[in-house]
């Protein structure tokens, strides 16, 4: 998966390079910086840094990883947060991520792990820092193949927009089956005759709604006919046809879906290959399919979205609201301890 978010100690990450949120003098500090120095061997890492210091805010340099499992440590200086200068903050933080990624590519790294730069003692609000991190990584991966991990030590280090989280919470409350089961359990003291009256009304209403839907659909071509086609069409064949219909390139699709190029090639070349559900959904998101189109697309791989699965409900929220940024979806999935989209 090109971009993922993990809860882990960054010094234990298995990556070609890990990133140190450094100060401009490249001196050993506290927090994540101190942990990286200690794990690498403080004296030898400091000696390597001294030869390259100082650096400017937003710049990045590279040293050996020494005792770390990572081959390299990339040191970058993020900005100290200035409440009165948001543009300055974002520009320098974006540069810190981008320049770190450039150093990784220049040194033939295939994987890199980042902390959430500047979100500690430098005071950058975590939700804003997360937004800059994901946007800069997403932009870089548009033109490069690299596995990137954003590493957070615990949940307190990871905060997403309250507005977005609130909207998702409401959608989950309204659609997640387990939520409704809990509410029903709390209403067991309702009189049985009232329940019967309600059930009778629901049955009549549902039947009427169903008949109306049938009436409306009779003789009207389904809007998915041009996209869905033959029901026996293999998943990979439908995928390629949808890419053509959407006038997108293969590269654009697998990048937007957060898929590894090799995995996409396997799906593309093997007509009988069935990807995982997460991968299939990621492709649906990349193609910006509607909810109905997504349902038909997933059926080709033997899957379906379910209101009994919180992961599915969260994804459904984004598709229903026309929000097709896999990186944004994955931030919310991570917040709810769900697996991420991609492959």
pLDDT tens track, the chain, 343 positions:
799 999 999 999 999 999 999 999 999 999 899 999 999 999 999 999 999 999 999 999 999 999 999 999 999 999 999 989 999 999 999 999 999 999 999 999 999 999 999 998 999 999 999 999 999 999 999 999 999 999 987 666 667 777 888 899 999 999 998 655 554 445 444 444 433 433 433 333 333 333 333 333 333 344 444 444 455 788 999 999 999 999 999 999 999 999 999 999 999 998 889 999 999 999 999 999 999 999 999 999 999 999 999 999 999 999 999 999 999 999 999 999 999 999 8
- Terminal Cα-to-Cα distance of the chain (whole angstroms): 4
Report in angstroms the alpha-carbon separations of 279 from 239, 240, 253.
12, 15, 12
Helix (H, G, I), strand (E, B) or coil at 122: coil
Alpha-carbon distance of 109 to 60, in angstroms, equals 15
pLDDT, position 218: 35
State the pairing for strand pair 17-22/60-64. unpaired
pLDDT, position 161: 73
Helix (H, G, I), strand (E, B) or coil at 285: helix
Q: Specify the residue for token string 């500047």.
A: 118
Candidates 252, 228, 251, 226; CA nearest to 239 is 228
Listed by start position, the domains of the chain span 3-159, 162-185+228-343
Alpha-carbon distance of 154 to 137, in angstroms, equals 21
Candidates 84, 165, 167, 87; CA nearest to 132 is 87
pLDDT, position 154: 67
Q: Specify the residue for token string 């989950």.
A: 172
pLDDT, position 155: 65
pLDDT, position 228: 46
- Within a 10 A sphere around the Cβ of 37, how many other Cβ atoms? 24
Q: List helix spans (H) across 176-309.
A: 177-185, 192-217, 225-228, 235-245, 250-256, 261-269, 277-286, 291-299
pLDDT, position 231: 57
Strand partners, 61: 75
Give CATH for domain 3-159: 3.40.220.10
Say which residues have a Cβ less than 8 Å from residue 115's Cβ, sequence separation at least 6.
10, 19, 20, 21, 32, 151, 152
Report in angstroms the alpha-carbon separations of 311 from 1, 48, 259, 277, 322.
18, 45, 18, 11, 17
Q: Which contacts of 127-130 are long-range, i.e. CB under 8 A and separated by 24 or more positions?
A: 127/159, 127/160, 127/161, 127/162, 128/89, 129/93, 130/158, 130/159, 130/160, 130/331
Say which residues have a Cβ less than 8 Å from residue 289's Cβ, sequence separation at least 6.
242, 297, 319
pTM score: 0.81
pLDDT, position 198: 37
DSSP character for 291? H
pLDDT, position 184: 47
Alpha-carbon distance of 60 to 74, in angstroms, equals 7
Cis omega before residue 223 (within 30°)?
A: no
Say which residues have a Cβ less than 8 Å from residue 331's Cβ, sequence separation at least 6.
5, 130, 134, 160
State the pairing for strand pair 111-114/72-77. unpaired
Alpha-carbon distance of 148 to 1, in angstroms, equals 8
Q: Which two tokens stand for residue 58?
A: 């937003």
In degrees to the nearest 10, what's the CA dihedral of 330, 336, 338, 343?
Answer: 10
């Amino acid at each position: 998966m090109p971009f993922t978010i993990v809860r882990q100690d960054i010094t234990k990450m298995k990556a070609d390079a890990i990133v140190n949120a450094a100060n401009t003098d490249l001196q050993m500090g506290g927090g994540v910086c101190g942990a990286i120095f200690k794990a690498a061997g403080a004296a030898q890492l400091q000696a390597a840094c001294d030869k390259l210091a100082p650096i400017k805010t937003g710049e990045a340099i590279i040293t050996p990883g020494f005792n770390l499992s990572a081959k390299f440590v990339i040191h970058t200086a993020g900005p100290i947060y200035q409440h009165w200068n948001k543009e300055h903050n974002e520009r320098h933080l974006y540069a810190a991520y981008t320049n770190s990624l450039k150093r990784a590519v220049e040194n033939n790294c295939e994987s890199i792990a980042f902390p959430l730069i500047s979100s500690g003692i430098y005071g950058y609000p975590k939700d804003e820092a997360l937004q800059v991190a994901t946007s800069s990584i997403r932009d870089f991966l548009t033109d490069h193949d690299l596995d990137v991990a954003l590493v957070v030590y615990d949940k307190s280090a990871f905060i997403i927009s309250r507005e977005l989280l609130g909207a998702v919470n409401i959608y989950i409350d309204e659609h997640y089956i387990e939520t409704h089961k809990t509410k029903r359990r709390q209403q067991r003291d309702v009189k049985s005759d009232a329940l019967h009256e309600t059930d009778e009304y629901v049955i009549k209403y549902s039947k009427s709604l169903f008949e109306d839907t049938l009436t409306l659909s009779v003789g009207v071509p389904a809007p998915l006919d041009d996209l869905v086609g033959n029901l026996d069409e293999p998943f990979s064949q439908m995928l390629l046809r949808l890419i053509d219909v959407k006038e997108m390139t293969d590269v654009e699709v697998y990048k937007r879906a957060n898929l590894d190029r090799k995995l996409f090639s396997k799906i593309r070349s093997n007509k009988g290959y069935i990807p995982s559900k997460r991968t299939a959904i990621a492709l649906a998101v990349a193609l910006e399919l509607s909810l109905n189109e997504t349902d038909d697309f997933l059926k080709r791989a033997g899957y379906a979205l379910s209101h009994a699965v919180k992961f599915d409900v969260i994804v459904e929220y984004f598709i229903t609201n026309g929000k097709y940024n896999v990186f944004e979806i994955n931030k919310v999935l991570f917040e709810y301890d769900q697996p991420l989209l991609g492959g």
